[in-house]
Structure 1
Amino acid sequence: MRWWLALLLLGATPAQAADWVRSVAQRGDFPLVARGQAARIVTDPAEDAVVGIAAEDLKQDIGRVTGAAEGGAAQVWIGTLGHNEAIDRLVADKRIDVAKLKGAWESFLILPIERPAPGVARALLIIGSDRRGTAYGAYELSRAIGVSPWHWWADVTPLHRDALYVARDARRFGPPSVKYRGIFLNDEDWGLVPWAAGNHAPEEKPLGPKTYAQVFALLLRLKANLLWPAMHKVTTPFNADPANAALADRYAIIMGSSHAEPMLRNNVGEWTAPAEDFDYLKNPDEVRRYWDERVRSNAGYESIWTLGMRGIHDSGMVGPKTVEDRRAALERIFADQRAMLARAGAADAPQVFTPYKEVLDVYRAGLKVPDDVTLMWPDDNFGYIRHFPDAAERARKGGSGVYYHLSYLGAPLSYLWLSTTPPALIREEMGRAWDAGARQVWVANVGDLKPAELATDYFLSLAWAVDKVRAKPVDKFVEDWAAENVDAAQAPAIAEILRDYHRLNFARRPEHLQWNLPVDKYRQSPLTIGEADERLAAFAAMETALAQVEPAIPAERRDAFYELLAYPVRASAAANRRFFAAEAHDRLRDSDLAEATRRGRIAHEADSEIDRLTTYYNRELAGGKWRGIMAVEPADGQWRSYRQTPVVLPPVDAPAPPAGPVKAQPAAPVLPLLTPDRFAGWTRVEGLGRHGAMLAPSGKKEASRATIDLPPGEWTVLVDILPTYADRDGDALHLTVGIDGVTQALESRRETGSRDWAMGVLDNRATMTLTQRLSGGRHVVTLERADPGVLIEAIRFVPAPAEKADRGLH
């Protein structure tokens, strides 16, 4: 057994599934399924419930893949150190070395052993350092044999294998990079709730145990451990049904609550007094009683307690009028909330405080947060993190975390329909947070969960193994994910389609196809008809690539293909056709009625296509399993102040006038442009921006240089960057650019909530303007220095004055 002891001492890391679970045996392999019989799954009855759940799921997964039932001579032992008598006996007899496992957080070993007990010739041991580590081990083996974490939530049917052999090498997994990793189900009004209430679990008030059981199982398969439950008015509060909390404990899922729901209380559904009475200055006794009731009922469960206070449903705090008054009130609230936990025996339970929205101003005004409380730093709701821990914050005992949005209901415009946040943006922002020391808690707002499968998977994969995932190119991660969840043979082509999907929709999300804010008068897009046609041609090329892939998809993966790829690709393309065709109709109506009518019909056809695609998703896909899950934004008239305005479709019933030849619509003149591929010396960040990559400073001192030839005339220079934040919200990002040896120091500030910020997050771009004007001829451009977080999309040269030539999506 010396061979696996050496691997453990070296801290062996997991390999790809194909490397350690195979269909043809090699010398020394463990026969998980051989000659039509599966190894017997063995657990200790004294183990925690989640170990039994995971063991049963592994048994079912082996059956899903092979069709085999238990009956072989080999056994799989699944157990937790200190809770499994048979495994503990092996440790005591020094048959296995678990020194690196003892005391580790959520870690596990997978290793074969000869003759572990009388009458047992061989066993595969899955040993966890704690209850979740053990469960993760069982699900890791499930994934390695070909059962995707998304097998239920995205209908990723496992592909059949006749036999399964586990390589003889021992493997050690964990501990995770981020201690607490999870998701927030939010804005569930238009997907999860109607689906659960009318289809998945009509016998229980939504959302109830039947639905949460599937969520918990998914989290375990993704090696997550934390859930903030759904909390809108349409949803029954999670803790209103004690069965929900008990079920979370059985699955070993840690429960928390959002920044707006202190002390595990769902204020929207549980605070029954008027909203103005949720006031700690005038009504402290009633508020304390309300919180203490939840502490006493849930102190025995594994929870993360959100401290602080805001108003009902994500509104500002009621009562205190000034920042100083809010600071004093919050410090009093912290003390009272922690006293409640101490009285209930939960003083050492993890606690978090999120300086979200206006609360960030209170924090910066000197708010004293107890040192062992984790500071949860939010993004701006659009994927750009507002604050990164400084040295003093990194030194805090409670550390820091991040609350990150992959879906959002709010200003300036919501994005609730399709998941369009590029994995590359998640990588850059969460990687930057990790580097700054935010490593304690990561939570992603995933909205209705579907169709955010890829983004959710990537976020949680980063949280589990930051260094490993960051080291892999994003396109390679997506390709591997496509191979696992759709089709390995088509994975490179699928990854390329998803790259185009994120590039095109990041320039303008399908839910953001309007160029006026809801409070503004309507205004047209800044694209000419020709430029819009170029954008639509790119979507059409993406759909063509999809159509070429589709016939080769295995029949058992067709539903997964539709959910994970076909629907988002085709629906986003149709949304763009509908918007830009309707806009072209309005522009051409007075000058070219025949072409305007043709465009109007395209808009109607695209609208019908969206209806058809969505109807299939909701009624026919997977035998009707997902009826009610998919709603096109805006789904109704709620929250109109930050919902997309429905596209006005032109009339098409009147007969079209005689059509002449279709007139090509000219695009604007192509303006000189420096894109990331023109520069060397800085780091190229793939998968972001309108050109498929962006530039980031490499940390080295040398400048990056490019040359450009400008036509005769006078030119203004615009530098497009991602609308990221400096390390501290309110500070400026700095970039130094040189042209022909003349350098200029530029800066960009994000004022969250301002009009410039709003336009920046809708465009996913901010622009810096150089004061230097250039004449025609050759010019040398150098990127001299930049703050961390500066990501350059392009340098554009436009005829002066710049304002007349700035185009929105280029």
Structure 2
Amino acid sequence: MKNARRTWMAGVVVWVVVCARVLAADWVSETATVGSFALAGEGRAAVVVVAEGEFQAVALAVADFAADVERVSGVKPAVKTVSAGKVDAAEAAALTKAGGGMVLVGTLGKNPWIDALVAEGKLEVSKVRGHWETFLIATVEKPFAGVERALVIVGSDRRGTAFGVYELSQAIGVSPWHWWADVVPEKKTALHVAAGVRKLGPPSVKYRGIFINDEDWGLQPWAAQTFEPENGGIGPKTYEKVFELLLRLKANTLWPAMHACTKPFNADPRNAALAEARGIVMGSSHVEPMLRNNVGEWTAAKDTYNYATNREGVLGYWEERMKTNATYESVFTLGMRGIHDSGMQGGGTPAEQIARLEKIFADQRALIAKYVKPEVEQVPQMFCAYKEVLGLFRGGLKVPDDVTVVFPDDNFGYIRDFPSETERGRKGGFGVYYHISYLGRPLSYLWLNTTPPALIWSEMRKAYDHGADRLWIVNVGDIKPAEIGTEFFLQMAWDIERWNRENLPEFLVEWAAREFGREYAKEIAAIMEEYYRLNFARKPEHLQWWLPRGEEPRPSGWTEDEVRQQIEAFAAISPRASEIHEKLGRNADAFYQLVEYPVIGSTLANIRYFSGELQAISRAEVVPDARVNGSDGVWRFSFSSHAAEDSDKSLIGFTEKFGEIAGGKWRGFMRLEPADDDWKSMRIAPWKVPTFSKEAVAKVKEARGAEPLAVFAAKEFSARKVGRGEVAWQVVPGLGRSGNAVTLFPLNAASFDLSRDAASAPFLEYAVEFPAAGTFSVRVHLLPTHALVSGRGLRFGLGVDDAAPQVVTLDVGDGGPTWAQGVLAGERLVTASVEVNAAGTRALRIYGVDAGVVIDRIEIGAVAAPAIP
């Protein structure tokens, strides 16, 4: 596997895959088996043993684990700290008398009891020692005199050990989201750990984490009003919960909240100290070099944050942070942009800006060498080529070879750039900064999380296969309601092989089974699959088609059938969600947060908008109204001209409920978009039924053009699929509007030259009935991905029967108005013409040219179809 050969994890990939499969099975049960370890049962629990001098991150994880065992079994294990000296056999035997068993937890070299087992050959750790964040969980027979059996959790480093502890917590039934989503574990009469050795690690991606961003929406108001008012909002109490969540998800890195509404992370020294205690690596966003929060910490005039005119002032500002945080584990962000996501000040030509950035790199690294380590190339550093900086990087900017270059997505889940084959040898490697929540242009999406796991998988796997394996950060907004996307992203970062094209649909089933039990897992997964598919066509935050261009209100351009199908599909999943909610008992609150609220919320938002749209064009009577009956929660549907108003009222009431669940725990967290009056140019307007002029309606109908002769999903290759060697078009389940878009695999396949040898290219073949000979338009709906080679465009081939295919190219136009409409619609359209020499069934072929092109649907028309405005 070419792209798994990374210098920092060489030689361990096969072992990682094997171990991941072992851990995927159920290995903790209520029933004892041969050689199993009794963790809890009959009113007692095994003692948990750690050693003096162990990392604080491990001690804190052990305390969480003891609480987890109590949550499940009702019995809290005793935690004992033994001396750092030699093993006392009598002490070991005495410790097991009360609970009947011993759980030894420690980092290699930090626990003499574990080191003794290794020295005596009772514990094999060769595949743990010296590796990054790797752990082993093993049963050991007769570890010490008088002790029948022990369970050992040993890690290669502090996080490896903590991950092992939390892995066992999850295996006994405690969700990583037990606090953040109120997932209550099932009570069990006993806990028995199956005999054997279970290993995990090292991770596929070295640094993996989240960026808390745009916290004005929910996290900061909630912390200030409900959870942490004594600190005025997000502070050590909130961050402590964030750090625990990250470790439970096997993440290790955090970019903290950074908006002006929030006190800067380092303004309270307790925050950084807690991060270090938990073993969390702190970083900072693309706009915050050297761990500095510019919107809250640069107190001088904004225009003085200018390296061209105020180098000494800026350097001194960075140096202050180095003095306070140099001893903590960090990934230092290099480079410079303006205050709060603006371009770098100082102006100049691109060449002058490049020269300035290279000088900034040198000065920043001199500070790192002075305060952290003279061998600066050994200190983790990153440079994020975000927005205008990407152009400078592609324009020749020289980033030190040991620095990780991080490529961003386009804020809508489509990665903008990829390392070329010649670049992949750089020592610092590459990473990705990805969004599943976004505040910005063309329009924000902060309310619900509708990025499907399939899109995250296809984009992040593509990035990994092109060499981006050093650092992955996902912008999760307020964390809630991005729980599913956050976990899937981090699961991929931990084990890139865990999910693939074949088993991708199983993720939601496994997730639902863990959170809500196996009885309803498949039904919940099916609901969420449909939720993602329907919202792929248009996010709820983007249901105002005249924005962001600021035109007079205009209809969507969807046909009546398309509107009806969308509403009916939403109306089908919402009552199913409500019915499951009524049956869940202890996890009703968790289900409301994770499933019911996003499903019903997006349903009501769509009914509200499309009912209003049809009212505005005098067609409201064809769209069903949806109402929630507060007494029994049953959904009822009827035709009504007041559907938009009623849905709006229901949506307001349903959102208010968010603050009432879990005893009011989340009061102040969830609001409807727009939640406030900030950033108006980047967000939809407050809801009201739109008013369309006759001219606007006529213009949209005219642009829509004639009905196509045929429309079919790309997955419906009714004739045949022809691959070339290992390269072939494949379906990605859960991707696109159709829910089954197709793309070339492998995702890093070399390009095909159709002009030289079309016969060597893979293709899909569709049997299409043409009514006559002549010229027909073929409109192909692509996902709005970016070309793997910068500036090349999205290319594929199109032909009929055995005729020579033509190459069709879509210019991405990144950042332009057509691109903006594409990411809001979840698709890009490209139209070509084909010649048909006789009526009848003909073979339409789609040829592979470049990997990275994702095809969702295809339309056949009599003439070239006009573009949708």
User: What TM-score does the superposition give when structure 1 sets the normalisation length?
Assistant: 0.93
The structure 2 residue matched to 1:759, chosen from 815, 821, 836, is: 821
* Equivalent residue number for residue 629 of structure 2: none
* Equivalent residue number for residue 374 of structure 1: 404
Q: Tell me by how many angstroms 1:797 deviates.
A: 1.3
Q: Where do residues 265-664 of structure 1 align in structure 2 (5 Å cutoff)? A: 265-346=292-373, 347=376, 348-470=378-500, 473-521=503-551, 522-553=553-584, 555-588=585-618, 600-618=641-659, 620-649=660-689
* Equivalent residue number for residue 661 of structure 1: none
The structure 1 residue matched to 2:201, chosen from 157, 165, 174, is: 174
Cα separation, 2, equivalents of 1:710 and 1:490: 46
Cα separation, 2, equivalents of 1:298 and 1:644: 40
Cα separation, 1, equivalents of 2:667 and 2:587: 19
Cα separation, 1, equivalents of 2:230 and 2:548: 39
Q: Tell me by how many angstroms 1:669 deviates.
A: 5.5
Cα separation, 2, equivalents of 1:10 and 1:576: 42
Cα separation, 1, equivalents of 2:809 and 2:527: 35
Cα separation, 1, equivalents of 2:413 and 2:135: 33
Q: Structure 1 residues 119, 465: CA separation in 2 closer, same or farther (over 3 Å shift)?
A: same
Q: Tell me by how many angstroms 1:212 deviates.
A: 0.2
**Aligned residues of 1:386 and 1:728 also touching (Cα < 8 A):** no
User: Which range moved further: 697-706 or 762-771?
Assistant: 697-706
The structure 1 residue matched to 2:36, chosen from 25, 29, 33, is: 29
* Equivalent residue number for residue 703 of structure 1: 763
**Aligned residues of 2:622 and 2:639 also touching (Cα < 8 A):** no
**Aligned residues of 2:611 and 2:620 also touching (Cα < 8 A):** no
Aligned amino acid, residue 134 of structure 2: S
Aligned amino acid, residue 843 of structure 2: V
Secondary structure at the residue paired with 1:489?
A: helix
Instruction: Give the percent of matched residue pairs that are identical in Structure 1 and Structure 2.
Output: 48
Deviations 1:367-399 (A, max 9, x none): 111000000000000000011111232100000
**Aligned residues of 2:768 and 2:841 also touching (Cα < 8 A):** yes
Cα separation, 2, equivalents of 1:392 and 1:384: 23
Secondary structure at the residue paired with 1:63?
A: helix
* Equivalent residue number for residue 783 of structure 1: 846
**Aligned residues of 1:18 and 1:144 also touching (Cα < 8 A):** no
* Equivalent residue number for residue 3 of structure 1: none
* Equivalent residue number for residue 56 of structure 1: 63
Deviations 1:86-120 (A, max 9, x none): 11122222221211111010000000112223443
Cα separation, 2, equivalents of 1:488 and 1:548: 16
The structure 2 residue matched to 1:729, chosen from 778, 790, 801, is: 790
Q: Tell me by how many angstroms 1:334 deviates.
A: 0.2
Secondary structure at the residue paired with 1:449?
A: coil
Aligned amino acid, residue 707 of structure 1: A
The structure 1 residue matched to 2:737, chosen from 690, 694, 703, is: 690
How many aligned residue pairs are there? 782
The root-mean-square deviation of aligned C-alpha atoms, in Å, is 2.4
Cα separation, 2, equivalents of 1:187 and 1:104: 36
**Aligned residues of 1:17 and 1:144 also touching (Cα < 8 A):** no
User: Which range moved further: 525-534 or 400-409?
Assistant: 525-534
User: Which range moved further: 571-580 or 114-123?
Assistant: 114-123
Cα separation, 2, equivalents of 1:56 and 1:329: 49
Aligned amino acid, residue 573 of structure 2: M
The structure 2 residue matched to 1:146, chosen from 151, 156, 173, is: 173
Q: Tell me by how many angstroms 1:776 deviates.
A: 5.7
Cα separation, 1, equivalents of 2:540 and 2:531: 11
Cα separation, 2, equivalents of 1:75 and 1:591: 69
Cα separation, 1, equivalents of 2:492 and 2:114: 31
**Aligned residues of 2:16 and 2:200 also touching (Cα < 8 A):** no
**Aligned residues of 1:187 and 1:232 also touching (Cα < 8 A):** yes
Secondary structure at the residue paired with 1:79?
A: strand
Q: Tell me by how many angstroms 1:472 deviates.
A: 5.6
Q: Structure 1 residues 670, 136: CA separation in 2 closer, same or farther (over 3 Å shift)?
A: same
| 2:289 counterpart of 1:258 | no
Cα separation, 2, equivalents of 1:718 and 1:193: 46
User: Which range moved further: 232-241 or 357-366?
Assistant: 357-366
User: Which range moved further: 399-408 or 678-687?
Assistant: 678-687
Deviations 1:497-539 (A, max 9, x none): 1111000001100001021233331221102344312210111
Secondary structure at the residue paired with 1:291?
A: helix
Q: Where do residues 42-81 of structure 1 align in structure 2 (5 Å cutoff)? A: 42-70=49-77, 71-81=98-108
Cα separation, 2, equivalents of 1:396 and 1:272: 37
Cα separation, 1, equivalents of 2:56 and 2:502: 35
Q: Tell me by how many angstroms 1:609 deviates.
A: 1.2
Structure 2 gap ranges (5+): 1-13, 78-97, 626-637, 692-704, 722-728, 747-759
**Aligned residues of 2:564 and 2:623 also touching (Cα < 8 A):** no
User: What TM-score does the superposition give when structure 2 sets the normalisation length?
Assistant: 0.87
| 2:865 counterpart of 1:802 | yes
Aligned amino acid, residue 461 of structure 1: Q
The structure 1 residue matched to 2:46, chosen from 39, 44, 55, is: 39
Cα separation, 2, equivalents of 1:676 and 1:702: 15
Q: Structure 1 residues 737, 75: CA separation in 2 closer, same or farther (over 3 Å shift)?
A: same
Cα separation, 2, equivalents of 1:467 and 1:56: 31
**Aligned residues of 2:776 and 2:833 also touching (Cα < 8 A):** no
Deviations 1:380-427 (A, max 9, x none): 000000111112321000000000000100010000000000100000
**Aligned residues of 2:406 and 2:471 also touching (Cα < 8 A):** yes
* Equivalent residue number for residue 757 of structure 2: none
Q: Structure 1 residues 545, 776: CA separation in 2 closer, same or farther (over 3 Å shift)?
A: farther
Cα separation, 1, equivalents of 2:389 and 2:676: 31
Cα separation, 1, equivalents of 2:334 and 2:317: 14
Cα separation, 1, equivalents of 2:857 and 2:15: 48
Aligned amino acid, residue 450 of structure 1: K
Secondary structure at the residue paired with 1:757?
A: helix
Cα separation, 2, equivalents of 1:489 and 1:150: 20
| 2:775 counterpart of 1:745 | no
Cα separation, 1, equivalents of 2:325 and 2:689: 52
Cα separation, 1, equivalents of 2:129 and 2:763: 49
User: Which range moved further: 543-552 or 676-685?
Assistant: 543-552
Aligned amino acid, residue 704 of structure 1: L
Cα separation, 1, equivalents of 2:131 and 2:623: 72
User: Which range moved further: 333-342 or 93-102?
Assistant: 93-102
| 2:125 counterpart of 1:98 | yes
